[in-house]
Structure 1
Amino acid sequence: MADKGELGWRLTAGAAAFAGGFVAKKVITMAWKKSTGKEPPTNPESPDVALAEAIGWAVMMGVGMEVARLLATRAVAHQWAKGTGAPPSHFKVEG
């Protein structure tokens, strides 16, 4: 079973990733509307959505969400290290 520090890290990182994903979806949707002038596809799998539009939306969402998750987790890891004096236990420093 994970110790309290590990559990605290998992909960904190999970909450940050969730919040980052929520904000990222809003920002990506807004950027899509601004760049294309229309709403993003609600169901990109539908044959009624043009293939180029479906792929564009999938790429934009996939990359955007992963970048948001990465940035949120890194920010939380930095704050975790400042607060505890050590990085989360599963982070390895390579060099």
Structure 2
Amino acid sequence: MADKSEKQDMAWRAIGGLLGLITAWSAKKVIGFAWEKSTGKKPPADSESPDISLGEAIGYAVVMGVGMQVAQIVVARSARRRYDAWKSLKGAAKDVTG
């Protein structure tokens, strides 16, 4: 039978997975919008297309990769801090109520 810490770990995994999906979707939209505003062109949909220059394909890949990773790190760290704080508050309330 799963103990309490295993259940909390499963809860964190579920929350983390959901946040990962939301963060990836949001970051892709924001980076795509920023790319369009800064270059005046839509983000390349197919980096292997001969209509897209090699420099543009590589530039977009670098911007997207770095942007996605930074977004994932920031969201994961702040979510983990909030989850740990919520967990400790929940534990403290349980200690008080007995």
TM bucket normalised to smaller: 0.7 to 0.9
- Larger helix proportion, structure 1 or 2? 2
1:32-71 alignment, distance < 5 Å: 32-71=35-74
Query: Residue 22 of structure 1: which of 11, 21, 25 is its match?
Result: 25
Q: Unpaired runs of 5+ in structure 2? A: 90-98
Q: TM-score, normalised by structure 2?
A: 0.80
Query: Does the 8 A contact of 1:33 with 1:39 survive in 2?
Result: yes
Tell me by how many angstroms 1:45 deviates.
2.1
C-alpha distance after superposition, 1:49-91 (max 9, x if no partner): 10000000100110011111111111110111111119xxxxx
Equivalent position amino acid for 2:54 in 1: L
**What is aligned with 1:73?**
76
Letter in 2 for 1:61: M
Identity fraction in percent: 43
Structure 1 Cα separation of the partners of residues 79 and 14 of structure 2: 11
Counterpart for residue 4 of structure 1: 7
Distance in 1 separating the partners of 2:40 and 2:51? 18
Q: How many residues align?
A: 86
Aligned residue identity for 1:66: Q
Deviations 1:14-46 (A, max 9, x none): 111111111111110010000100101100122
Task: Please report the TM-score for the alignment, with normalisation by the length of structure 1.
Answer: 0.83
**How far, CA to CA, are the matches of 2:27 and 2:8 in structure 1?**
28
Q: Is the 8 A contact 1:17 1:68 kept in 2?
A: no
RMSD of Structure 2 on Structure 1 (CA): 1.8
Supply the AA of the counterpart residue of 1:16: L
- Matched letter for residue 13 of structure 1: G
